[in-house]
Amino acid sequence: MKKITLAIIGLMGLSVAAFAEDYTKYVDPMIGADNGGYAFPGATLPYGMVKLGPDCNNLTENAGWQVNTPVVGFTHTHLNGSGGGCKYGNISFMASTGEMNPADYASAYSDPVAKVGLFSINLDRYGVKARLSATRHAGFHEYIFPETDKANVFVDLGKFLASIEIQEFVGSEVTVLSDTEIQGYQRIRGGWNYSEAYTVYFYAKFDTPCESFGTWKDGKLYPGKASQSDENTKCGAYFTFNTKGHKTIRAKVGISYMGCNKARENAAEITSWDIEDTHMAAVNEWNDILSQVALEGGDETVKKIFYSSFYRVFMQPSDYIGENPKWISDEPYYGDYHAIWDTFRATHPMINLFRPTRGGEMVQSLVNIAEHDKFLPDARTSHWSGRTQGGSNADMLIADAFVKGVKGIDYEAALKCMLKSATVYPGDDERQYGRGGLPDYNSIGYVSAEYERGCSRTFEFSANDYAIATVAKGLGHNDIYEKYAEKSHSWENLWNPDIESMGFKGFAWPRHRDGSWLEDPNFTVFSSGSFEHQFYETFSWEMSFYVPHDMKTLVEKMGGVDEFTKRLDHYFNTPFPTKTDELLFYTKLVGMCQISNEPCFLAPSLYAYVGQPYKTAKIVRQILRDMYWAGGDGVPGNDDSGSMGAWYAFHTLGFYPNAGQDVYLISSPVFPKATLTFEDGKQLVITAKKASDKNIYIKSAKLNGQPLDRCWLRHSELVAGGTLEFEMTSKPTDWAKDGILPPSLSDEYNK
């Protein structure tokens, strides 16, 4: 009855040995896992629902892992790179030796090794080595014990990740079914998206019968008692083994959002008790994606950073097909959009480029979600939509898929959902979904300072409206196109020509409902904040560059090409002039550009709109070199579901998308040769003759042998396959200076 949506697994259907190269060897899942990057270092498949990895005391790090901090358990659900409040960390398994003590079991660790599909670590307190792997819906646990008659493996249903914007415990149950089986669930609410309660069920099958077992509830141990019931209480269960002469205990743990029986079915995805079989299956599935980019020449360390970045792009959204506890539908069902405000810019465009079938499923799942759950979400985890950071940026995903010809999407239905966001006020839920401040936006043309995030919303809504216009035009709805093309000029209503800073005039500025501009001596073009602020995680200097759909008008507003260029130079080259604690915590700056956060993602590419791509090359190469490296702290900000990874990977290949538009802006290819294999098997060979750390400027370019004198490409030009040849040099060039500029709204529509 349900459409079984098969991923395009195995471009060539071959085993790992058959890949020209094992690209997973270049992937270090630990890159970005420290210092606020929150990259998930554990075991998972592409889009895997189960992400099995270590959680450390005090369970406050977003992906669970925290260096130099005792391990408290291995949980099956994580987000990759999320910022803000923690989410998930469900169904915590752990090993110990000696008497079972549910109040104190965390262990110092040593020798953590993260590979694609395998995570291993020593639990030094117990002399236990733990190894973890994963299938799509199940985790493989292997614990190698010392010889003892008290080797414990246990599940603690009272553990989960919880920091600011806290997840709260709701309830749990556990049942020991036999001497090799435990099942139960954990129910949690809250987290960053203020989710209602969600329930994660599990079923664990061990390879070895336990010698004894027990359960606990509210911290009290019940040896021999097989089950605990839910009185909004925390419970757990343990198996004790005798490992004298039999040191390895293995468990397959199925996870489900439906029920325990479904979790049991999911556990059966693991068909062998050899962890290497599960590990190798993961390696194969990942290689299938990683091999779509074959890099040649260049630096091995840079290769490692590239593939680790590229890897993170495909971790999320998670494939929840068959795991929807909310409604029945034949449509695909994905979750862990966290958040589209982050991922629409680079993560999803990269998925659309390399895995359009998945990309289409993801967009169609959003349409299906909107049809069952009120609005297109900006973020969605634990089957719950919320929160919205700025605009209704799911619109950008839809437009991006549309202009790139992504199939599997009911675009008419999608347009309806976009229009709902654009017309129906979400009211009290204006942080949950839809467009906050909409009554202002649709009556006076901007979100006034009387609402929070007035400037961010207005600028993002304008881009979102262009996304609506784009899809409407393509579908032949000219009335809708005209209306939303006009609305996408709305950012101009918050353009205050009188604000001056550092010699530049005209900035995005908060405006009151009565039309007057905000006057507040404490509010400057550098002021920044979070949900309550007018500029969400950005500031006027930066936001003023965010008009991705009408750069032509923006350049004019800023005083023409020279003034615009000067201003963009200034932005990248002038130190942030006031104390940086006005910005957010993990901010890393290049000049005033917060490269650690998404609002600036497009900015380095904007020189394309004034025909000066060599400046893009310079700043992009600087960021790639200075802000990313092959270490735990090697990602400049929260990876944000592969956002940092996608930014890095695109620019390393030499181009970057203007999301929602059929436009890739060329930057500076890093590797001498990169062969891109698309989903349909077509190949694009990108060569960059003489490319090196010094030869970063494009001297000339050819597409399929024909000279290319513009600094941007269309999607069809990439995916058709063929050759894209660059010749690189160490000095700035005039290449593409006089080429056709990338398109702007005002080329096609003027109010």
Single residue of 66, 122, 228, 661 touching a second copy by CB under 8 A: 228
Interaction between residue 4 and a second copy (CB under 8 A): no
Is position 425 an interface residue for a second copy (rule: CB under 8 A)? yes
Q: Which is nearer to a second copy, 259 or 297 (CB)?
A: 259
CA separation for the pair 97, 241 (Å, rounded): 9
3-state secondary structure of 625: helix
- Interacting stretch for a second copy, rule CB under 8 A, among 27-35, 89-97, 181-189, 649-657? 181-189
Beta strand segments in 559-679, E: 589-590, 593-594, 655-657, 664-666, 673-677
- Window of 9-17, 128-136, 223-231, 530-538 that interacts with a second copy by CB under 8 A: 223-231
Smallest distance from the beta carbon of 206 to a second copy, in angstroms? 19
Which among 21-29, 205-213, 322-330, 528-536 is the span making contact with a second copy, rule CB under 8 A? 322-330
Of 77-85, 227-235, 531-539, 563-571, which part binds a second copy (CB under 8 A)? 227-235
E-assigned strands of 554-693?
A: 589-590, 593-594, 655-657, 664-666, 673-677, 683-689
Choosing from 148, 152, 324, 677, the residue that interacts with a second copy (CB under 8 A) is 324
Q: Please give the Cα distance from 750 to 746 (Å, whole number).
A: 5
225 belongs to the binding site for a second copy (CB under 8 A):
no
Does 325 sit near a second copy (CB under 8 A)?
yes
- CA pair distance 741, 412, nearest whole angstrom: 31
Helix, strand and coil percent figures for the chain, each rounded to 5 = 30, 25, 45
Residues 184-213 that bind a second copy (CB under 8 A): 185, 187, 189, 196-197, 199
- CA 421 to each of CA 365, 393, 433, 653: distance values in angstroms, whole numbers, following the listed order: 16, 10, 8, 35
Give yes or no for residue 374 binding a second copy (CB under 8 A).
yes
8 A C-beta contact, residue 266 and residue 60: no
- Does 248 participate in binding a second copy (rule CB under 8 A)? no
Bond from prior residue into 732 cis (ω within 30 degrees of 0): no
Min dist CB 196 to a second copy, Å, is 6
CB-wise, 440 or 537, nearer to a second copy? 440
What strand order describes the sheet that includes 712-713? 655-657, 664-666, 712-713
Q: Which stretch binds a second copy (CB under 8 A): 321-329, 481-489, 603-611, 737-745?
A: 321-329
Contacts (Cβ under 8 Å, ≥6 apart) of 133: 43, 52, 117, 118, 119, 139, 140, 275, 278, 279, 282
* Torsion of Cα atoms, 488 then 490 then 496 then 500, to 10°: -30
**3-state SS record for 50-106:** CCEEEEECCCCCCCCCCCCCCEEEEECCCCCCCCCCCCCCCCEEEEEECCCCCCCCC
For a second copy, which residue of 28, 55, 230, 725 counts as binding (CB under 8 A)?
230
The binder of a second copy chosen from 76, 131, 262, 279 (CB under 8 A): 262
Minimum CB distance to a second copy, residue 476 (Å): 28
Single residue of 175, 180, 212, 675 touching a second copy by CB under 8 A = 175
Interface with a second copy includes 87 (CB under 8 A)? no
Q: Which is nearer to a second copy, 64 or 434 (CB)?
A: 434
Following CA atoms 282, 286, 287, 293 in sequence, which dihedral angle do they give, to the nearest 10 degrees? -170
Question: Pick from 48, 322, 510, 660: which binds a second copy (CB under 8 A)?
Answer: 322
434 in contact with a second copy (CB under 8 A): yes
CA 57 to each of CA 60, 70, 74: distance values in angstroms, whole numbers, following the listed order:
7, 6, 12
As measured in angstroms, the least distance from the Cβ of 203 to a second copy is 10
Angstrom distance (rounded) from CA 74 to CA 78: 11
Rounded least distance, CB 443 to a second copy, Å: 11
Out of 119, 169, 239, 441, which residue is the one contacting a second copy (CB under 8 A)? 169
Which backbone phi and psi does 622 adopt, to 5 degrees? -60, -45
Residue 646: name the closest of 35, 21, 81 by CA: 81
Least Å distance, CB 333 to a second copy, is 10
Q: Which of 15, 261, 301, 704 binds a second copy (CB under 8 A)?
A: 261
Q: In this complex, which beta carbon is closest to a second copy, that of residue 383 or of residue 618?
A: 383
For residue 740, what is the DSSP state? Answer: P
Backbone phi, then psi, for 427, in 5-degree steps? 60, -135
Please identify, using beta-carbon distances, which residue of 145 and 160 lies nearer to a second copy. 160
CB of 157 to a second copy, least distance (A): 11
Q: Does 556 interact with a second copy (rule: CB under 8 A)?
A: no
Of the pair 258, 589, the CB lying nearest a second copy is at: 258
- CA–CA separation, 265 and 328 (whole Å): 19
Asked if 585 touches a second copy (CB under 8 A), the answer is no
Measured from the Cβ of residue 681, the count of other Cβ atoms closer than 10 Å reads 9
Q: Does 428 bind a second copy (CB under 8 A)?
A: yes
Question: What DSSP assignment string belongs to 306-336?
Answer: HHHHHHHHTS-SEE-TT--SS---SS--EE-
Could you say whether residue 231 binds a second copy (CB under 8 A)? yes
Task: Show contacts of 121-124: CB within 8 Å, 24+ apart.
Answer: 121/54, 121/71, 123/71, 123/95, 123/96
Q: Minimal distance in Å, beta carbon 437 to a second copy? A: 11
Smallest gap from Cβ 416 to a second copy, in A, equals 14
3-state secondary structure at position 42: coil
Kindly tell me which residue out of 21, 147, 168, 207 binds a second copy, with binding defined by CB under 8 A: 168
Minimum distance between the CB of residue 419 and a second copy, rounded to whole angstroms?
13
For position 104 contacting a second copy by CB under 8 A, the verdict is no
Q: Is the peptide bond before 720 cis (omega within 30 degrees of 0)?
A: no
Interacting stretch for a second copy, rule CB under 8 A, among 41-49, 68-76, 259-267, 335-343?
259-267
Q: Does 265 bind a second copy (CB under 8 A)?
A: yes
Which of 6, 17, 103, 328 touches a second copy by CB under 8 A?
328
Interface ranges with a second copy (CB under 8 A): 1-2, 168-171, 173-175, 185, 187, 189, 196-197, 199, 218, 227-233, 256, 258-262, 264-265, 322, 324-328, 374-375, 424-430, 434, 439
